[in-house]
Amino acid sequence: MALSGPQQYPTELLDTTMDQLRTLIVVHEAGTALGAARRLGREQSSVQKQLDTLNRTFAALCGEELVRKQGRGRDALFTATGEALVGLARRTLGEWAEGVHDARRRLGRTLSVGTTRYTLGFLLDAVERVSEDYERENVDLKVTHVRTGDLFTKLRSTELDLVCGSVVVTEGEETELLAPYEVMEWRRSGLSLLTNLPPDRLPGPSLPAHELDRLPLVISARGLIGRFLTAWYGTDYRQKLSIAAEIEAAHYGFELLRSGLVSGAMLVTRGIGEAAADGRLPEAGGLRTLEIVGDVGPRTEVLVGVFTRRGERASYPPGHPLNLLWKALSAENERWWLQS
């Protein structure tokens, strides 16, 4: 009688361990057993023993070894079967790791939170409110820096459970954009300019968006600023504006303007502009702040808040770490409004 289900798996396959699969992957990445041993912190003989075991196992099961020696100083040669099994090993270990992570998250044993640099303070204050609960329940809280452009991607992939950050919302597209997420809205704002241009060249205190084309601009094409410019001027905004410098990080833009290497104006979120004007951003000291009046294109705003996958909080009990942190962040938001 033919067996079905788990009973049909070959004994040799069942004797293969996850540690052996990891070793196979690392040998493939490192090229040699010696290189893999160094990465794994093991003796070369231990790695070679696992390779020999895998070769015997899969030669018996498949008719071909996985790895062949090439001689001293040369990378190991992976057979076609070996290449296929390396890919399968990566998927197998990845799926197991993801399954364990999902189970720990569902049971409240771990919580992965992302934050942008300018929302980290809000998160830290909220974590103080739940720290005793987390310590009592042995919750493993992981905090990760996340770029604005990656916020939704990391939520969709379940890499993060909650994110404190900012997104750009445009009139007519907001509902569809935010539909998959539960949002705790903190505030909305537009853009500001930080400039080293003299007042007679750029008087202020505000500037209509349609006049940006007369200024040498410092911009970050990634993230929020690029999305504003696309909404206002279209995807070819570079041809319509005078771009003096494109930057990856705001701090580099501050240095460019403060050094005088570039004379112009840098587009930033209004929150950053206000922090610079109030002296809360020393790296932008000496730069003037102007408010941008969005008078071109559809209404576009920065929405600052907390984001998580829609429906997930409701599936957990009130004492789940995600719900506790959400409540703490809501309390921090109320405190902020009372103080402002």
The pLDDT value recorded for residue 194 is 95
pLDDT-derived band at 28 (thresholds 50, 70, 90) equals: very high
Burial class (CB in 10 A: 0-12, 13-18, 19+), 192: buried
Residues 152, 295: Cα–Cα separation, whole Å: 28
Q: Which two tokens stand for residue 74?
A: 């040369």
Distance, in Å, from the CA atom of 288 to the CA atom of 88, rounded to the nearest integer, reads 57
DSSP state of 330: H
If pLDDT is split at 50, 70 and 90, which confidence band does 1 have? Answer: very low
Are the C-beta atoms of 264 and 196 separated by less than 8 Å? Answer: yes
| Axis-axis angle for helices 33-40, 44-62 (nearest 10) | 120
pLDDT digits over 108-123, tens only? 888 999 998 878 888 9
Distance CA 67, CA 79 (A): 6
Q: What is the pTM of this model?
A: 0.74
Q: What is the pLDDT of residue 2?
A: 46
Q: Which two tokens stand for residue 52?
A: 């020999």
What mean pLDDT do residues 328-334 have? 91
pLDDT for the residue numbered 266: 95
Q: What is the pLDDT of residues 142-194, one digit of tens each?
A: 999 998 888 999 999 888 999 999 999 999 899 999 999 999 999 999 999 99
**pLDDT confidence bin for 7, thresholds 50/70/90:** low
What would the pLDDT profile of 182-200 be if each residue is shown by its tens digit?
Answer: 999 999 999 999 999 999 9
Task: Work out the average pLDDT over 241-253.
Answer: 90
Q: Are 128 and 97 in contact (CB under 8 A)?
A: no
